[in-house]
Amino acid sequence: MKRVVLATIAIVLGVSGVVAQQNIAVQQSNLMKGQAKSLYGVLSRTLRGQSPYDQAAIDAALVQLEESVGKIATVFATNPKEDVVGGDYGSSQKIWQNKADFDSKIPPVAKAIAAAKGKIKDADSLKVAFDAINARCGDCHETYRVKLK
């Protein structure tokens, strides 16, 4: 009887552990997807003529990006040790072997966003800002993001 109880407790703890890990992975993925919404869903779509030029939307996207990028270090503080089930991308384990280097990829993104604020006035300046920000996102993805599909 005791053994059954212990085994049941072990299973319950095991399952809740998996759920917690999955929650962390999902939170990390959602933070990134939010950034993509601003950078690609607003800035890039405007550049490609898929959305009309909307200054307020562009300015709001930069504010959202700045806020979200400021959270990367904390949201990625814990290794979820697993990928989002069915996700397109995962985190490389290198992040937790080189957390300081991973974190060092964040300020350049924040700088590029800060530099773009108030500078985007038309399609040309939008292109300059988009390329600058996107390149810095890529600097981290190159080493630390893994394509799963």
Point out which span in 2-10, 32-40, 42-50, 115-123 binds ligand HEC (CB under 6 A). 32-40
- Choosing from 45, 59, 82, 89, the residue that interacts with ligand HEC (CB under 6 A) is 89
Binding flag, residue 34, ligand HEC (CB under 6 A): no
Binding mask 46-85 for ligand HEC (x = CB under 6 A): -------------------x---x--x-------------
Q: Are 130 and 113 in contact (CB under 8 A)?
A: no
Q: How far apart are the first and last CA of the chain?
A: 45
Q: Taking CB under 6 A as the rule, does residue 96 contact ligand HEC? A: no
Closest CA to 27 of 86, 72, 93: 72
33, 81, 119, 121: which one binds ligand HEC (CB under 6 A): 33
Does the footprint of ligand HEC cover residue 141 (CB under 6 A)? yes
Query: Which residues on adjacent β-strands are paired with residue 89?
Result: 147
Rounded CA-CA distance 121/123 in Å is 7
Whole-number Å distance between alpha carbons of 34 and 110: 15
Q: Which is nearer to ligand HEC, 52 or 86 (CB)?
A: 86
